[in-house]
Amino acid sequence: HTSTLAGWGFLASVSYAQSLLGAPETRLTALDNGLRIASEETGQATCTVGLWISVGSRYEREKNNGAGFFLEHMAFKGTKKHPQSALEQQVESMGAHLSAYTSREHTAYYIKALSKDLPKAVELLSEVVQSCSLNEADIEQQRGVVLRELEEVESNLQEVCLDLLHATAYQGTPLGHSVLGPSSSARNLTRHDLVDYINSHYKAPRMVLAAAGGVNHEELVGLATDHLSGLSFEYEGDAVPVLSPCRFTGSEIRMRDDALPLAHIAIAVEGASAASPDIIPLMVANAIIGSYDLTYGGGKHLSSRLARLSVEENLCHSFQAFHSAYSDTGLLGIHFVTDRNNIDDMMHWSQNAWMNLCTTVTESDVARGKNALKAALVGQLNGTTPVCDDIGRHILNYGRRIPLAEWDARIDAVTPKIVRDICSKYIYDKCPAVAAVGPIEQLSDYNRVRSAMYWLRF
């Protein structure tokens, strides 16, 4: 017992700075076909390995919106080598967990398994991505599953609100599409549509084989060479899909339903892109505004001014400052949930919090925001799967994994003046996008919300 406790004491004494310096490096290798292999080795008994692909709903057209999400459902329905039951049996016999997700710009397929099973995991992933069977009977069966999921999402009002926010902010552009697509797509997508989607986008230079945990980089490169070096890097007729710019439009969308108990409202301005240097000051700014939920302890002693006001004035049930960053644009916003009688007040104080960032943010505000952001960045990398996801998305976004020590230094460099200047650039006198769902009769008209982006400064 003594030695165990001494061990714990030693671990507890490792400082934040030491832990950053002690983080394992991310190694990066590229195959001849352009596929990148990136890994972080920690010597654990488990690992997560996956393929991250630079494709999502932003690459879809009106006609095939939802194709990526539909494919995600088809991925585990069998490959040309393993029918569904055999694929499931292979994963189950390893005690592994196979999963996938689709976002607006990325798609990922990944397996969490014991480190000794890394070769089998890479083999199965390569099959899923290169030779998904896509048989007609499975496609028909999955239509019903996708339609049920679409129905379920309609009851998640936060999701609905944020999808509407994208639909109005990026109206007329592919970023306005939802990831799931409309129900008409789920009913009408054909096998040809899905095959065409894979042939157009699943190209080696747009893929990263990422791994974290008990993984050896040289072994991973060898497995990638064996299973993924045949991935195509050429486009038919050189028709390389180019992302069209998605313009931001200050506008609003309202879905009034007085039968709902609470209103979900989101307000956003155009934010920074994922690779913009402005993103760090904006993340610090969001950390200053913070988040709040009725279940939080602390009450009137919460550090976020907006959270304290929410408690004292009973303004809302919850709020969250967010920044959705894409390759060339972003949404910087606040989402809140409140009852019908507090909408106007909560909107006023949310915009007021923005204006404070542009004008009166203090040294202590920024110090608190920086600490909260550092804690969040470290805290979200708890486990091999979030680390693997971080690696995959970083390589796609930046061409490299940005180490925590570098994030830390960039956060340290933020000053109150930088926060005020950057927030003024993005927020002050800008046309916001507003999305509102529920009993929203009391929500001020758009022109009043828009004018507050100017007058609240004075």
Active site residues: 72
Judged by DSSP in three states, 165 sits in helix
Four-point Cα dihedral 334, 347, 442, 249, nearest 10: -60
How many angstroms separate the CA atoms of 220 and 208, rounded? 12
Non-local (6+) Cβ contacts of 67 within 8 A are 60, 181, 185, 189, 193, 194, 197
Which secondary-structure segment (H or E) carries 314?
none
How many angstroms separate the CA atoms of 287 and 123, rounded? 41
How many angstroms separate the CA atoms of 118 and 37, rounded? 14
**DSSP labels for 384-452?**
HHHHHHHHHHHHHHHSSPPPHHHHHHHHHT--HHHHHHHHHHHTTTPPPEEEEEES-TTSPPHHHHHHH
Non-local (6+) Cβ contacts of 62 within 8 A are 177
Largest Cα span, the chain: 69
Judged by DSSP in three states, 286 sits in helix
- Helix-strand-coil split of the chain, %, nearest 5: 50, 20, 35
How many angstroms separate the CA atoms of 377 and 41, rounded? 19
| Alpha helices, H only, 53-117 | 67-74, 84-93
Four-point Cα dihedral 150, 323, 256, 296, nearest 10: 100
